[in-house]
Structure 1
Amino acid sequence: MTDRRLAIAAWESLFRAQHEVLHEISGDFCEDDLTQAEYDVLLTVTRGDDHAARLRDVTANMLISQPSVSRLVDRMVARGLISKWPDPQDGRGAIVRATDTGLAAFRRVATTHGRSIAERMSVLTDAELAQLQALTSKLRGADAPGGATTP
């Protein structure tokens, strides 16, 4: 059985580390270029074929509610960062695609943001980074049907 005190201490440490790191790298985002939420949408979209993704996949990757994602996407369409049209395979869904403007903004921010992340994470060795990735993946897998997964 897991030691309850150790579990709580580890959780608190993880939570505080995440909070501090996010605070430190949040300066990479400027409202005039991209907000962090807009960057997250474009991150999902740019990973898709032809820089497009289903809106439900974007929503699944965000840490905000579906209505909030829908409003965010509509604002991004209005800003010319993405385009949106009905999903031909799902009449209730939508496809979003990065525009040239959105791709350019994403790439500008991604360069700076990637550098900030790498710099902040450089306090860990490559082996520690791999271990951290495996451990956090295992924690995230705890929500999957059937329980925790092994990395």
Structure 2
Amino acid sequence: MSDSSAIWLSPQQQHVWRSFLRFHDELNTVIARQLHNEGDLSLADFEVLVNLSEAPDGELRVTLLADRMLWERSRLSHQVSRMQKRGLVIRNDDPHDGRASVVSVTDKGRKAIEHVAPGHVDTVRRNLFAQLEDGDVDYLSGVFDRLLNVIHTNNPEIPTCACPPAETTRT
């Protein structure tokens, strides 16, 4: 930028920002490798299956699924088509609204996610939580809650997180 009055991140803020981005990318790479090696699933497959398996009756309207995943509908449509060819999901007309579609997880999709879930949990524990103490986890939980609240306040068009709330807080 040529504007000398621009406000830049401080060196520490720049370090935190870049470390956050790098950690996110590296963790997703490790998770993607685990999902592929253990279940021939992509990270995108896994995200769709998680959202569907947590939904009532294992199905969601395409628009709601796209909103939950923060994906464009066209991206989700292509992903669902690939997964449908592999028998992981099915797409049908919404019985309550013929203009809409619903996506449902199949038995094969449920088995696939159940197969990779233990390895996924282990991967997340080893690469995220293993070096953190309970107080660190509580602190990060609070920080992310505050940051997500700021994003939703500043960007009301972004759907709020479908993250499950912490059931207990350690002291």
Matches within 5 A, 1:1-151: 4-5=9-10, 6-30=12-36, 33-121=40-128, 122-145=130-153
Equivalent pairs counted in the alignment come to 148
Q: Name the aligned partner's letter for residue 126 of structure 2.
A: E
**Cα deviation digits, residues 85-114 of structure 1 (max 9, x gap):** 122344432211111101000111112111
Q: Name the aligned partner's letter for residue 139 of structure 1.
A: L
Q: Which moved more, 1:138-147 or 1:91-100?
A: 138-147
**% identical aligned pairs:** 27
Counterpart CA distance in 2 for 1:92 and 1:135 is 40
Tell me, what secondary structure is at the counterpart of 2:131?
A: coil
Which structure 2 residue ranges, 5 or more long, are not aligned?
1-7, 157-164, 166-171
TM, length-normalised to structure 2: 0.74
The two structures, once aligned, show a CA RMSD in angstroms of: 2.6
Off by >4 Å, runs of 4+ in structure 1: none
Counterpart CA distance in 2 for 1:12 and 1:112 is 28
TM, length-normalised to structure 1: 0.83
**Cα deviation digits, residues 54-86 of structure 1 (max 9, x gap):** 212221233543211101101211211111112
Look at both structures and tell me which one has the larger radius of gyration over its CA atoms: 2
Which structure 1 residue ranges, 5 or more long, are not aligned?
none
Q: Sort the Cα spacing of 1:76 and 1:118 in 2 relative to 1 into closer, same or farther, 3 A.
A: same
